[in-house]
Amino acid sequence: MAEPPLEPSGSPDDDLVARAKDGDPDAWRELYREHAGRLVAWLRLRPTGDAALTADDVAADAWLVAASKIADFDGTSSEFAGWLFGIARKISFRAKERSDRRRTAPGEVSEVGDHLETVADPTLAIDTHDWVRHTLESLPPRERDVVGLIDGLGLDTQGAAVALGMTQVAVRVARHRGLRRLERIAASRADLTPT
């Protein structure tokens, strides 16, 4: 699906967002198809600190909050991605704070949810790129988020800035540093590999 051209924040709504504001289910279905997979994949890179709270839970909360506050959003469907990711980031941050405050040790999820129906994980396809996740985990959190959003999930700079609560300049700088750090890490690993 071709992404619409980048427009500045506060731009008028495009047709998809306008229909979503009116409560059109088809518009929401289209938005969900476009952004839900990337959102879950990104949230998996961000630990919540709570074993009972998965990335799917945070993503579902983010969608509900986005639908309840869609009247405050102005922009295109591309900018909707950054706004949605920002909501998910705040929910994840609050969950991590709550987990750190409670300091509870929940039981294993498999023991708790054995009786629940198992659904197919749509993000299993990206597990083939598991080395990407391991590589990104070696980065500092700020650079990991930026590189993961832009280079991993295809968000533009503006969307990543909105999602992370940063300026676009800071996003560019963090991405540049993250890519350089990845190159150094890859070079050091190549040197350690026996030939």
Binding site for other proteins (CB under 8 A): 20-25, 28-29, 32-34, 36-38, 40-41, 60, 63-64, 67-72, 122-123, 125-126, 129, 131-132, 135-136, 147-148, 151-154, 179, 182-183, 186-187, 190
Give how far Cα 168 sits from Cα of 13, 82, 142, 156, 171, Å: 21, 12, 13, 10, 5
Half-sphere exposure of 119 (CA within 13 A, CB side): 4
Amino acid at 44: R
Return the number of the residue (84 or 166) whose C-beta is nearest other proteins. Answer: 84
Please, what is the minimum distance in Å from the beta carbon of residue 100 to other proteins? 27
H or E element in which residue 35 lies = helix 25-43
Return the number of the residue (18 or 109) whose C-beta is nearest other proteins. Answer: 18
Please, what is the minimum distance in Å from the beta carbon of residue 29 to other proteins? 5
Please, what is the minimum distance in Å from the beta carbon of residue 189 to other proteins? 8
Please, what is the minimum distance in Å from the beta carbon of residue 148 to other proteins? 8
Tokens of residue 9, six digits: 């924040």
Return the number of the residue (99 or 158) whose C-beta is nearest other proteins. Answer: 158
Return the number of the residue (12 or 32) whose C-beta is nearest other proteins. Answer: 32
Alpha-carbon dihedral 152, 31, 86, 131, rounded to 10 degrees: -20
Return the number of the residue (51 or 179) whose C-beta is nearest other proteins. Answer: 179
Alpha-helical runs (H) found in the chain: 15-21, 25-43, 55-68, 77-102, 109-112, 130-137, 141-147, 157-164, 168-192
Please, what is the minimum distance in Å from the beta carbon of residue 147 to other proteins? 7
Longest pairwise C-alpha distance within the chain:
61
